[in-house]
Amino acid sequence: MAKQSLKAQNLVTIQKLDKPFFVLAPMDDVTDTVFRQIVASCAKPGLMFTEFVNVDGLQSPGRPRLMHKLLLSKYEGPVIAQLWGLKPENYYKTTKDLIGIGFAGVDINMGCPVKTVIKNGACAALINNKPLASEIIDAVQEAAGDALPISVKTRVGFTSVDMSWPEFLLTKKLNMLSIHGRTAKQLSKSPANWSLIEEIVKMRDSLYPSTLIVGNGDVLTRAQGLDLAQKNNLDGIMIGRGIFHDPFVFAKASPWQGWSREQKIELFKKHIKLHIETYKNKERRFETLRKFCKVYINGFDGAAELRAEFMETEGPEQALNLLNQ
């Protein structure tokens, strides 16, 4: 297929989503192909993100250890691959690698505030380094050409709110910009500031109306997301931790509250079985499955005890045996 038509297709996928569209946020150790398939089987959002994947690692001999983060299945709907790293040339090469393998776009992580990441100048640290941020975006856009839409996910500032940052990003003619309404320093602590996101939408309207704006931060239900989207004139709403409270968070009417212990355990078993099938060579650590314990084993008698037993298990097969009992 010609590159031109690939980009056209991908862009159409993003542009033609009913607005406001919902997005599953990128979450490290969480939003792998397995969990995305589980979410899709419950209630598919308009878009999903991969976990962040390091381009400098991908373009090094360590590449095989990271490739599992880019697995994709046909059951997930449109998925954006999220990249992070430092070297523009590695962003360039990685974006080239991503063309034509099924992703709906490439996102650059400019928001992760984790110390080990920002101490080297990556992710949220780029908020304080517009020249490098600009080079990285240019490299990704040049590599993507007409083949893939490009987006950035970021925050509203580093130590304090800095509206020159979204203003700068809007000059970069991105296809999509996802804004988490907190500074990097705020981590996930104080409430997300949606009035800043609203200001960025207005800025977009005057600077570059083609960039889709997605708001993110503290949305726990679809109804809350729709309300925020309408109030702030947003194109999309991104939900992260809300999925831990309700795997059907993207459904018009979630059945989760009414689900029995058996139904929840069946869904967890499906997740674990898919993990076993997908990572036959143990490419992904079993420990990542423990993160989901509280999602599925919750809200029924004996849940706390079962969770404690689950935490003692040492591999997916043993975990499955426990849940089968």
Binding site for ligand FMN (CB under 6 A): 25-28, 30, 51-52, 82, 109, 111-112, 153, 180, 188, 216-219, 239-242
Ranges of beta strands (E only) in 190-307 are 212-216, 236-239
Q: Extract long-range pairs of 15-19: CB within 8 Å, 24+ residues apart.
A: 15/212, 17/46, 17/47, 17/236, 18/46, 19/229, 19/235, 19/236
Q: Which one, 124 or 144, has the nearer CB to ligand FMN?
A: 124
Q: Which one, 80 or 144, has the nearer CB to ligand FMN?
A: 80
Q: Is 143 helix (H, G, I), strand (E, B) or coil?
A: helix
Could you give phi then psi for residue 215, rounded to 5 degrees?
-95, 145
Distance CA 234, CA 221 (A): 16
- State the DSSP string of 95-127: HHHHTTTT-SEEEEEE----HHHHTTT-GGGGG
Least separation in angstroms between residue 91's CB and ligand FMN is 15
* Burial group, residue 70, by CB count within 10 angstroms (0-12, 13-18, 19+): buried
Q: Which one, 7 or 44, has the nearer CB to ligand FMN?
A: 44
Q: Which residue is nearest to ligand FMN (CB)?
A: 240
Ranges of beta strands (E only) in the chain are 21-24, 47-54, 79-84, 105-110, 150-155, 176-180, 212-216, 236-239
Annotation marks residue 123 as catalytic: no
Least separation in angstroms between residue 261's CB and ligand FMN is 25
Q: Which one, 37 or 54, has the nearer CB to ligand FMN?
A: 54
Q: What is the CA radius of gyration of the chain?
A: 20
Distance CA 155, CA 127 (A): 8
Catalytic residue numbers, as ranges: 112
